[in-house]
Amino acid sequence: MDSTLIAQTYRRFAERECKGYAPTDYDLALAAAGDDDIVAFLTQLPVAQPNLFFAAIQLLAGPDGMPARAALPAFVARRADELAAIMRSRRTQTNEVGRCAVLLPALPPGPLALLEVGASAGLCLLLDRFRYDFGSALIGDPSSPVHLRCAVAGPAPLPPVVPRIVWRAGLDARPVDVHDDDATRWLLACVWADHRDRRRRLEAAIEMARKNPPVVGKGDLVDDLPALLAEVPDDAQLVVFHSAVLTYVAADRRQAFAAILAETSRRRDVVWLSDEAPGVVPELTAPALPSDELRFLLGRTRFTSGRRRDELLAVAHPHGTELTWL
């Protein structure tokens, strides 16, 4: 990326993703965009994405030691080699359990077989082990160490209980091993520094997964999907889901993914839940969104005998803190 594009990207990231939500990243993104030396440093890197830069800073400084806006140029100058090494060797990785609150009202009744693509550490596959607070309704295990709060607007069909899950498995191009300390430290560094609650619940979910890890195989969501689909037991409703994943996949691969689900539905019904940015699943037409802030669309597509029926169910905060049912 050239310097003009980098500065624009950082400004847009600040305004669109961080404003009013992540003040530290907001300040740092604007500081980076306005500092020629930092922009020059970023232009030398293969990936200059703001999330990667701030995760690298957080890995070095810790969430409580993030530099202030005015101190960023000196921090980058002092630790340029370490930052560059991290940004060359790592890519941002997330596993946002908050998205389970968005998926929960869209689940069909159990028993369910859950298959997640782009599952990361597989933490969202544990959605029946969390506690959900939707304001008007508390759902799930009251003793769970993972509490998810989601503000709901509109007629969301909140279930009285989490559907029974009888089988679960994930697939990821770069799965995160919950027993690998370096990998989980990086996963935590990718949570925005101000988001202490998100970090705490991610730590709790990792701890939970360490005791009973979900199975996440290494593989591609198109090439390796048929083999995993073949393992799904027949006596459960199959739900294939993903959040913040298809956005990283080319349009023809997204179509190939959907075609596999359509083909699978010739022998069994498939429910496909997608929680992605607008436009990623083109069959889900985005409503006029109220502001410039990034929102995800929750879609449910039912495949039966090779045919699909798409429903746009809700607009959701990318981290699952708000859900507007349509």
Note whether 98 binds ligand SAM by CB under 6 A.
no
Q: Which of 94, 274, 301, 324 is the binder for ligand SAM (CB under 6 A)?
A: 94
Answer whether 132's CB lies under 8 Å from 101's CB: yes
Residues 295 and 319: their CA atoms lie apart, in Å, by 9
126's CB contacts (< 8 A; 6+ apart) are 97, 146, 205, 208, 209, 214
Q: How far is the CB of 289 from ligand SAM (least distance, A)?
A: 20
Q: Is 177 in the site for ligand SAM (CB under 6 A)?
A: no
Give buried/exposed letters for 217-251 (b at 16+ CB in 10 A, else e). eebebbebbeebbeebeeebbbbbbbbbbbeebee
**Three-state DSSP class for 137?**
coil
Secondary structure (3-state) at 52: helix
Judged by beta carbon, residue 24 or residue 93, the one nearer ligand SAM is: 93
Please state the closest distance from residue 120 (CB atom) to ligand SAM, in A: 4
Specify the DSSP class assigned to residue 14: I
Q: From the CB of 148, what's the least distance to ligand SAM, in Å?
A: 13
Asked if the bond preceding 282 is cis, omega within 30° of 0, the reply is no
Please tell me whether residue 276 binds ligand SAM under the rule CB under 6 A: no
Rule CB under 6 A: say whether 220 interacts with ligand SAM.
yes
Of the residues 164, 174, 266, 267, which one makes contact with ligand SAM according to CB under 6 A = 174
Q: Kindly give the residue spans of alpha helices, DSSP state H, lying in 128-195.
A: 181-189
Query: Is the CB of residue 306 less than 8 Å from the CB of residue 277?
Result: no
Inter-residue contact 102 to 150 (CB < 8 Å): yes
Q: Does 245 bind ligand SAM (CB under 6 A)?
A: yes
Site for ligand SAM in 221-240 (CB under 6 A): 221
The least distance separating ligand SAM from the CB of residue 240, rounded to whole angstroms, comes to 12
Residue closer to ligand SAM by CB (options 115, 249) is: 249
User: Binding to ligand SAM (CB under 6 A): which residues in 112-171?
Assistant: 117-118, 120, 124, 171
- Residue from 139, 187, 205, 244 binding ligand SAM (CB under 6 A): 244
Determine if 326 is a binding residue for ligand SAM (CB under 6 A).
no
How near is the Cβ of 130 to ligand SAM at its closest, in Å? 13
Q: Which chain residues interact with ligand SAM by CB under 6 A?
A: 93-96, 99, 117-118, 120, 124, 171-174, 220-221, 242-245, 248-249
